[in-house]
C-alpha cells in the first residue's frame, strides 16, 4: 500500500487517510460521519490498494469532482443535492426511458433531470 493513500468517505466524500491494522489489513475511519471501512479479504485488499494507487496518480479531488458531476444531482424545486439511486428513477410513461430522478426530500415532488454522459 502506498504511504499517505487517500480514500473518500462513502458518506461525506471527505478524503481519508488509509491506515493498516496490526494484521496488515487496510481501513479508513471518518470521525465526523462515524463511518469505518475495514477491508478483510485478499481480493478486497488487492482492489483497495489498486484504488489507492489510482487515487494517488489522479487527484482525489478531481476524481470526486468527476463522480459528483455524473452521479450527484440538484433538485430544481428545493435545491437539495442528492446521489442518484435506482429507487429514485423517474421513467417516461410512454416509452419507459429514464427522465430523471425524484428528489428524496420528504414532501418535495421535484424531478432532477439526468443527462447521460455529462
If pLDDT is split at 50, 70 and 90, which confidence band does 57 have? low
All three cell numbers of 57, joined, read 496518480
Query: Which H or E run includes 74?
Result: strand 72-74
All three cell numbers of 24, joined, read 496488515
Mean pLDDT of 62-79: 80
If pLDDT is split at 50, 70 and 90, which confidence band does 8 have? confident
**Residue 41, phi-psi category: left (phi > 0), alpha (psi -120 to 50), beta (remainder):** beta
Q: Name the pTM for this structure.
A: 0.50
Amino acid at each position: 500500500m502506498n504511504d499517505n493513500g487517500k480514500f473518500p468517505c462513502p458518506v461525506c466524500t471527505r478524503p481519508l487517510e488509509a491506515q493498516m491494522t496490526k494484521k496488515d489489513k487496510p481501513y479508513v475511519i471518518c470521525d465526523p460521519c462515524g463511518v469505518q471501512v475495514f477491508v478483510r479479504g485478499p481480493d478486497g485488499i488487492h482492489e483497495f490498494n489498486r484504488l489507492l494507487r489510482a487515487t494517488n496518480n489522479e487527484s482525489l479531488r478531481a476524481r470526486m469532482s468527476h463522480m459528483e458531476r455524473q452521479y450527484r444531482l440538484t433538485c430544481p424545486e428545493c435545491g437539495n443535492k442528492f446521489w442518484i439511486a435506482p429507487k429514485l428513477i423517474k421513467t417516461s410513461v410512454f416509452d419507459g426511458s429514464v427522465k430523471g430522478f425524484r428528489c428524496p426530500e420528504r414532501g418535495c415532488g421535484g424531478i432532477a433531470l439526468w443527462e447521460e454522459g455529462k
